[in-house]
Structure 1
Amino acid sequence: MEPRIWSTSELAALKGWGPAQVRSAVREGRITRVRRGSFIEAPAPRPGAAHIARVRAAAHALGEGTVVSHISAAVLLGLPVPQSLLSSVWVTRPHSNGERTPTLRAFRAPVPDDERTVVQGVPVTSLARTVVDLARTVPFEWGVAAADATLRQGVQRVALEQALDRARRRPGMRRARRVVAFADGRAGSPGESLSRAHFLLQGVPAPVLQRVVRTASGIVVGLGDFGWEDERVIGEFDGALKYDGGLGRPEDVIMAEKRREQAFRDEGWWLVRWGWSELLRPAELAERVRRALDHGRRQTS
């Protein structure tokens, strides 16, 4: 259940709080300010949840014909986005002068009925339209992450191509077409999507996605996120969530990972692993993978 959003006037009328009481409640963590004059009665949420609360708080004041779009639509639709862009609510309006404030980014474009949906009572752009809008406006790798996630959810590529066609006269379409052409629903997570986009941008040879490793007798040893066939290298993005206790005791998970890695090595595969911190330094990640590929070539020559 989504937390209730309180306005300053509601806090005054229903709780009897004046400005001093509101400031005190914010300091003590009893309520959290999500935008000017709007609060939720809960401790500070994670960035995505805070952004959803901000969108819900702003929805009533967005104006007729306004649709939540781009980053904000992506968050409501469950698509990955960069946290650095969550401070503003992103919307599309039929009439806009491109407003951009610390809390609002508005775009001018039509949004037909078949490119709209409703999430948590908020009108938002459809999944395919949102992907194309993102691909036009955010860095290439984040457009890929959103497009991959959409294909992974079962949306057909033709839907993205149709959305591209309908947006063909808008800015950023060359990048959007490149994103959709590169999108692949086999990428298993946002981290994997960002990784393969960085490989492309950094000139790293394209890997096979979800490479199954088998013994000579055909027994499956494991599944690697990325596989470079000629070099016999498996690449693994490690998002660290597997160690948070959700998959069992962290020490058991770590031991299982070590056994799996040894099984790969026993079949002649070299492993290279990275996490979120490496994704922040794409050139260093690319160099690390190249070194692993060089090692693999030497081992197979």
Structure 2
Amino acid sequence: MGDLPVTTVSRTLVDLAKDYPLEVSVPLVSEALRRGLASRESLHRSIRSGTRGCRRASRAFDLASPSHESSGEALCAVKFVRFSISGMIPQVNTYNDAGAWIARNDFRHEKHPVIVEFHGVGKYYLNDAGPDRASSENHERHMKLLNAGYRVFNLVWADLFRASEFIKIRAAIADLD
């Protein structure tokens, strides 16, 4: 077709969200939102009510967020829904009791001192100071959060495909309710 566009980013995202599970569509939609290639409102307006997959697409657009800084974080948000874990807010600054900043967390519960961090390989191997330095900094941060009274769950890619960690997260929140 030469240089003529065949479709748009928005149309592609709507089609993906209608046809694929949330685990596929939410990371893609989140990335498009983060890059400013679409808006949640415009995507919702693009859904024709009563058509095949319209509820699934609407759910995907509700779960997607420009705050998800990686596909792993977006997938983690989907897993929270799959395991009935509510109240997890993405990209939250966390402070200790004295008001000193500790860290910006991937997810923190809105009411309870529960934090979920997703660690992709890039955090360690794309770090200019190298993986040892990144690991040391992550450990220091983790200890500061624990000392401030937070329960921290550190997830890696494999955890996103296992139920066990999400069951533990759900139980930790339930214990605090």
Q: Distance in 2 between matches of 1:214 and 1:257?
A: 16
Q: 1:132-281 counterparts in 2 under 5 A?
A: 132-154=14-36, 155-165=38-48, 168=49, 170-281=51-162
Q: 1:60-139 counterparts in 2 under 5 A?
A: 123-139=5-21
Q: Distance in 2 between matches of 1:181 and 1:271?
A: 26
Which amino acid counterpart does residue 194 of structure 1 have in structure 2? Answer: L
Contact 2:84 2:170 in 1 (8 A): no
Unpaired segments ≥5 residues, structure 1: 1-63, 65-117
Alpha-carbon displacement from aligned partner over 1:183-223 (angstroms, at most 9, x marks no partner): 22212211111111111122122311112111333321101
Q: Distance in 2 between matches of 1:238 and 1:227?
A: 15
Which amino acid counterpart does residue 212 of structure 1 have in structure 2? Answer: N
Question: Among the aligned pairs, what percent are the same residue?
Answer: 28
**Larger-Rg structure:** 1
Aligned residues: 176
Q: Distance in 2 between matches of 1:156 and 1:294?
A: 34
Which amino acid counterpart does residue 155 of structure 2 have in structure 1? Answer: W
Unpaired segments ≥5 residues, structure 2: none
Q: Quick one: higher RCO (CA 8 Å, sep 6+), 1 or 2?
A: 2
Q: Distance in 2 between matches of 1:204 and 1:156?
A: 25
TM-score using structure 2 length: 0.87
CA offset at residue 294 of structure 1?
5.3
Contact 2:87 2:111 in 1 (8 A): no
Query: Residues 178 and 256 (structure 1 numbering): CA distance in 2 closer, same or farther, change over 3 Å?
Result: same
Q: Distance in 1 between matches of 2:157 and 2:146?
A: 24
Q: Distance in 2 between matches of 1:199 and 1:179?
A: 13
TM-score using structure 1 length: 0.53
Q: Which structure has greater helix proportion?
A: 2
Query: Residues 286 and 124 (structure 1 numbering): CA distance in 2 closer, same or farther, change over 3 Å?
Result: farther
